[in-house]
Amino acid sequence: GQNIDQPTEMTATEGAIVQINCTYQTSGFNGLFWYQQHAGEAPTFLSYNVLDGLEEKGRFSSFLSRSKGYSYLLLKELQMKDSASYLCAVRDSNYQLIWGAGTKLIIKP
């Protein structure tokens, strides 16, 4: 079967750096997405990786290793507003997104 694994919950301190990992086993690979979802709101797009390596976008970076079935989302200079769930999703061979259950990130002052 297809599987996306990410930690259920993480805690970090305001101003610090946090890395959220995602491992996947899917039938085919056509890109990996990270979304942010604040409580009670819709998921919003953060990043997309299709080739190995690091994609940087401001305070957020996302890394992909296709050979290892692994990605991480790196958040720098954490702010209280970064408290949210972070969803990892992989596009499979049927061109459908397979979603992880999400990582709830708690930021403490």
Partner 1 sequence: IAGITQAPTSQILAAGRRMTLRCTQDMRHNAMYWYRQDLGLGLRLIHYSNTAGTTGKGEVPDGYSVSRANTDDFPLTLASAVPSQTSVYFCASSDGTSGAGSDTQYFGPGTRLTVL
* Contacts to partner 1 by CB under 8 A: 4, 31, 33, 41-45, 48, 50, 87, 89, 95-102
Task: Give 16 or 50: the residue with its C-beta nearer to partner 1.
Answer: 50
Which residue type is seen at 81? Answer: K
Task: Give 9 or 77: the residue with its C-beta nearer to partner 1.
Answer: 9
Calpha distance 76→23 (Å, rounded): 21
Say if residues 96 and 2 touch (Cβ distance below 8 Å).
no
Contacts 24+ apart (CB under 8 A), 48-51: none
| Shortest distance in whole angstroms from residue 4 CB to partner 1 | 6
Task: Give 4 or 107: the residue with its C-beta nearer to partner 1.
Answer: 4
Helices and strands: H and E segment counts in the chain: 0, 11
Beta bridge partner(s), residue 4? 24
| Shortest distance in whole angstroms from residue 100 CB to partner 1 | 5
| Shortest distance in whole angstroms from residue 41 CB to partner 1 | 7
Task: Give 81 or 95: the residue with its C-beta nearer to partner 1.
Answer: 95
